[in-house]
Structure 1
Amino acid sequence: MDTLIQIGQIIFILSVLVILHEFGHYIPAKLFKVRVEKFYLFMDAGFSLFKKKIKDTEWGIGWLPIGGYVKLSGMIDESMDSEQMAQPAQPWEFRSKPAWQRLIIMLGGITVNILLAWFLYTMIYTYYGQKYVSTNELQKNGLAFGEVGQSVGFKNGDKIISVDGKFQEKFNRMVIDILLGDKVVVERNGKQETLVLTDEHKKEILTKEGRNFIEPRLDSIIVDSVIKGSKANQAGLLKGDQIVALNGVKVAYFDELTTEINKHKNDSVKVSIVRNDAPMTLNAATDKEGKLGFYNKHLTKDDLKKRFETVNHLTFLQAIPVAVEESYTQFIYNIKQFKLLLKPKTGAYKQVKSPIGITRQLPTEWNWEFIWGFTAIFSIGLAFMNLLPIPGLDGGHAIFTIAEMVTGKTLSVKAAERVQTVGMIILLSLMALTFGKDIYEWILDAISKK
């Protein structure tokens, strides 16, 4: 059932984005009297799930949910229909229209994606409010870092002051900023320290811990679960116990407890706890790695929201400029993330996901606030991707149209076919790699759960 809900969410999100994106091409095409031969939601490679011809246009739904398309008469596109191009140009064809009209048609989908994100953010901020986890609130006690975070230079208790000279008030974006930045300034024991992150450091974070390499430093140590047969289990430690001291040394944070335990490997320790508001002391042993054998309670996303979330309630008019700013910010993040992908040493390209990978990360409950927010983010991502000057994408077509407007020369049909072929090979190869990787990971996860 959970998987079905995830699949339902991704199909809904993709349907909204694809239909509106393609209408961004369809509407100006009709305004400029270009014949639209096909309008498809999803790709109909080989066959379609549904199709119906209304006047000049065949409306349909394909079986492969990786996009959609509008087929215009007189245009070399995904269909590679060169036979039509061999005939004399007709007034209703795309190629017979002025370059400026063709450019508007090609950029129509991107324009709609940006306007959609703007509209969605406006409505989300008006109805739900502008929400984010406050960096200042979350790192009041400093931050806790995993092994990778500490290996690249961070220390438990650090407070992040800035990334590349800028303070990020929204903690939701702090990890992204760190991965996209170079210099991180932290406050450590009352002094400022500067950390320089290399591409190799970023690869370590991305491949081993990801977004979880930073966590809030909780001001209490609560046992979430005890490993069966462990030293903690043998000592009588229970879920819900709060550990307050080890051998009489007070420990307020989990990293402090870890430091103290590491001093007593293969040893016996006295663990001071509070259980049901009553103080107790347990005699426990540690293993050779300096561990007791329990898991500390971590904050879930819901816990983070309850404790640290800031909600700005905005009117519709107040939300409009904030939504514009958010749309712009998301677009800039897409540019920075693309630059990160182009650096092989970071290994960021391995994190790119197909619709299958994205589906597996979606929540297992239908949540309209999340769905519309994710659709807005995805819409900006789709706009950015289509702006890339890759043949086969809107940006590729637009580049050649702009070149024509500047030089007065057009590509020959054969040259256009070759360019389109190269673009399709690039895009299909990338899709094959990302789909293959996500399917492989899905299979491995399924096997590991058996």
Structure 2
Amino acid sequence: MEIFLIRLLQFMLAISILVLLHEGGHFFFSKLFGVRVEKFYLFFDPWFHLFEFKPKKSDTTYGVGWLPLGGYCKISGMIDESFDTEQMKQPAQPWEFRSKPAWQRLLIMIGGVLVNFLLALFIYSMVLFYWGDSYMPVQNMTMGMKFNTEAKAIGFQDGDVPVGTDQKEFKKFDIDLFRNIADAKTVTVKRKGKLVTITLPEDMSLLKMLKSEPAFMRPIIPAEVDSVMPDMAAAKTGIRKGDRIVAFNGAPVNSWCDFDDQIGVMTDVMTATAKTTKDSLKVRTTTLVYKSKATGQLDTAKVVLSPELQLGVGKTSLMTYYKPVTTEYGFLESFPAGIKYGIGVLRGYVDDMKYVFTADGAKSLGGFGAIGSLFPPVWDWMLFWRMTAFLSIILAFMNILPIPALDGGHVLFLIYEMVTGRAPSEKFLLRAEYVGFTILILLMVVANLNDVLRWLGFMH
């Protein structure tokens, strides 16, 4: 419950910042060009609101709604998600959106996207300035990687150290590494001190690599115990910090990858056969062989895992065996570095959009639950700001898509007007807004339904 609340608070804070600044972009350009803003709201307020006030001598009502799905800036004389048709029936007023030149209306519409994109670049720059860029060079991970069956069929072997592809050299073990493999023709690995080139099939898919279970590629980390949780299976067995697990559930364990794979096997068995408490206990009862750090001897023990199939140990991590590299940035240096980093994130996100239009991609869509789970389970300001910047880029990109009801839809119609000299009719714009709004609602339903199905265990 504590983890859920921490993630929820981070999600709500990030969304509040992004929505306020996004709508603030529309607000800024509206005021700059003398367009009246009737309402400025954080979150939506169907039927009622949580808070509202209107300053004296102001045309704008500010408020907080109860439905945290975004926010809005209601601009006079504009067909938007408020579907205010009565206002549009009245004669155009000089302070209305529809009375302004097309280029001013265009800037008003892209204001939110512009602010979100610039915000992301600024956050990335400040993160690099304050914390620097710390990472584990892939080529320094000398114990290599653990590969799944599909990867081994291509030609990878456990212990291989990825070096690069025919397109670029690997730097970090992150999503870009998998993205580079998906787009490459060959990949080079270091195997037993020698460089080996592996030819990749044409149907390599980033989505399949990320969704495969076990994972396509994982760093090999020795199964050494970093900590022991009191009153759980490991503590009752006598396992201590520094002990190493060498076998579990009847299978040899050379790394935490092997241990996790066996937990996966037990999870599948539990799902398929554990209909009663007795069945569950049978699945959770297994054998464990570990090497004691104190004596150097092998000990075999019978353990009963928790109902969540937890042994009750903290695992060693990459940081235990490898020293990270940190690149520091001065204040002025951080801006070009942050801009380069942010553009790279945007380029990767846009490139990954091609998977959305596949069956697996549709199943991978996530709603608010999936987004919230991306935040760390503990409050970490660096990770929080990185995640906020990432969401800001997503918000900017998604809003500029040429879908009616999004900023990009309005921009599309404005560009049409600027090119042809003729504005679409108000009747057409209203119908387009309804269509776009329906599409967005359907996408939101599908994405959040996927979250529910994953939570219920019907989808991975």
Is 1:321 paired with 2:353?
Answer: no
Aligned to 2:48: 47
Aligned equivalents of 1:14 and 1:434: distance in 2?
17
Give how far 1:222 is off. 3.2
Please list the CA deviations of residues 165-195 of structure 1 after superposition, one character each: whole Å capped at 9, or x if unmatched.
1223121234541575253513264321122
**Aligned partners of 1:384, 1:308: CA distance in 2, in Å?**
36
CA distance in 2, matches of 1:83, 1:326: 46
Residue 409 of structure 1 corresponds to: 422
For residues 17 and 327 of structure 1, do their structure 2 counterparts lie closer, same or farther at Cα, with a shift above 3 Å needed? same
Percent identity between matched residues is 39
Runs of 4+ in 1 over 4 A off after TM superposition: 201-204, 223-226, 236-240, 250-258, 271-274, 281-285, 294-300, 303-306
Partner of 2:73: 70
Residue of structure 2 in register with 1:268 after alignment: none
Match of 2:163 among 138, 161, 164: 161
> Is structure 2 residue 108 aligned with structure 1 residue 105?
yes
Alignment: residue pair count: 407
Name the CA distance, whole Å, in 1 between partners of 2:182 and 2:112: 28
Q: CA deviation digits over 1:221-256, x for unaligned, max 9?
A: 536899xxxxxx9xx9956533789xxxx9976899
TM-score by length of 2: 0.78
**Matched residues in 2 for 1:353 and 1:68: separation?**
20
> Residue 338 of structure 1 aligns to which amino acid in structure 2?
M
Encode CA deviations 1:380-431: one digit per residue, 9 max, x unaligned: 1111111111111111111111111111111001100111111000001001
Amino acid at match of 1:382: L
How far apart, CA to CA, are the structure 1 residues paired with 2:179 and 2:206? 11
| Structure 1 segment 139-288 matched on structure 2, within 5 A | 140-150=142-152, 153-163=155-165, 165-174=167-176, 176-178=178-180, 181-187=183-189, 189=191, 190=194, 191-196=196-201, 198=203, 202=206, 204-209=208-213, 212-218=215-221, 220-222=222-224, 238=239, 240-242=242-244, 274-280=291-297
Residue 420 of structure 1 is aligned with which of 433, 450, 459? 433
Note if contact 2:365-2:450 (Cα within 8 Å) is conserved in structure 1.
Answer: no
List alignment gaps of at least 5 residues for structure 2.
Answer: 229-233, 261-287, 303-310
CA offsets per residue over residues 184-217 of structure 1, 9 Å max, x none? 5132643211222626x6554344438x432212
Match of 2:400 in 1: 387
- What is residue 310 of structure 1 aligned with on the other side? 325
Distance 1:11 1:252, change over 3 A: closer
Please give the secondary structure, in 2, of the residue aligned with 1:171. coil
Distance 1:435 1:384 in 2: 20
CA distance in structure 2 between the aligned counterparts of 1:305 and 1:64, rounded to whole angstroms: 44
**Who is 1:288 aligned against?**
none
User: Secondary structure, in 3 states, of the residue corresponding to 1:380?
Assistant: helix
Distance 2:85 2:209 in 1: 48
The offset of 1:154, in angstroms, is 3.3
Q: Are the structure 2 counterparts of residues 318 and 63 from structure 1 closer, same or farther at C-alpha, using a change threshold of 3 Å?
A: same
> Aligned equivalents of 1:277 and 1:166: distance in 2?
45
2:296 is paired with a residue whose SS is strand
CA deviation after TM superposition for structure 1 residue 432, in Å: 1.1
CA distance in 1, matches of 2:202, 2:314: 29
Give the 3 Å change call, closer, same or farther, for CA 283–440 of structure 1 in structure 2.
closer
Residues 442, 273 of structure 1: alpha-carbon distance in 2 compared, 3 angstrom cutoff: closer
Query: 3-state SS of the aligned residue for 2:8?
Result: helix
Farther-moved stretch of structure 1 (11-20 vs 128-137)? 128-137
- Whether contact under 8 Å (2:225, 2:315) holds in the other structure is no
Residues 125, 335 of structure 2: 8 Å contact kept: yes
- Give the letter aligned to residue 387 of structure 1: I
| SS in structure 1 of the partner of residue 127 of structure 2 | helix
2:142 is aligned with 1:125: no
Give the secondary structure class of the aligned counterpart of 2:224: strand
Compare 408-417 and 161-170 and name the one that shifted more: 161-170
Distance in 1 (CA, whole Å) between partners of 2:254 and 2:449 is 46
Secondary structure of the structure 1 residue equivalent to 2:63: strand
- Which moved further from structure 2: 162-171 or 313-322? 162-171
> SS at the partner of 2:198?
strand
* CA-CA distance at 1:295 after TM superposition: 11
Q: Tell me how far apart the structure 1 counterparts of residues 257 and 32 of structure 2 sit (CA, whole Å).
A: 64
CA distance in structure 2 between the partners assigned to 1:356 and 1:443 by the alignment: 13
Q: Are 1:20 and 2:9 an aligned pair? A: no
How big is each residue's C-alpha offset from its partner over 1:330-380, in whole Å with a ceiling of 9 and x where there is no partner? 110121121221233xx1232222122222342232221111111111111
Of residues 22-31 and 185-194 in structure 1, the stretch that sits farther from structure 2 once superposed is: 185-194
Q: Is 1:356 matched up with 2:369?
A: yes
Contact 1:386 1:395 in 2 (8 A): yes
Q: How much has 1:77 moved relative to structure 2?
A: 0.5
Does the 8 Å contact 2:291/2:299 carry over to 1? no
In structure 1, the residue matched to 2:117 is 114
Is 2:20–2:42's contact at 8 Å kept on the other side of the alignment? yes
DSSP-derived class of the 1:42 partner: strand
Q: Which residue identity lines up with residue 113 of structure 1 in the other structure? A: N
CA RMSD, Structure 1 to Structure 2 (Å) = 3.5
CA distance in 2, matches of 1:60, 1:354: 25
Specify which of 399, 402, 407 is matched with residue 412 of structure 2.
399
TM-aligned CA deviation for residue 276 of structure 1: 2.5
* AA matched with 2:362: Y
One-letter amino acid of the structure 1 residue matched with residue 117 of structure 2: I
Distance 1:148 1:422 in 2: 42
* Residue of structure 2 in register with 1:336 after alignment: 351
Name the TM-score, length of structure 1 as normaliser: 0.80
Structure 1 CA distance for aligned equivalents of residues 258 and 51 of structure 2: 62
C-alpha distance in structure 1 between counterparts of 2:5 and 2:41, whole Å: 24
Answer with 147-156 or 397-406: which moved more: 147-156
Alignment partner of 1:368 out of 381, 399, 404: 381
User: Is the CA contact (8 Å cut-off) linking 2:292 and 2:298 kept in structure 1?
Assistant: no
Q: Secondary structure of 1:209's match? A: coil
Within 2, Cα distance between the matches of 1:157 and 1:361?
29
Q: Tell me if the contact between 1:160 and 1:184 (Cα under 8 Å) persists in the aligned partners.
A: no
**401-410 or 150-159: which moved more?**
150-159
Q: Offset at 1:60? A: 1.2
| Pair 1:81-2:84 in alignment | yes
Does the CA-based 8 Å contact 1:33-1:92 persist in structure 2? yes
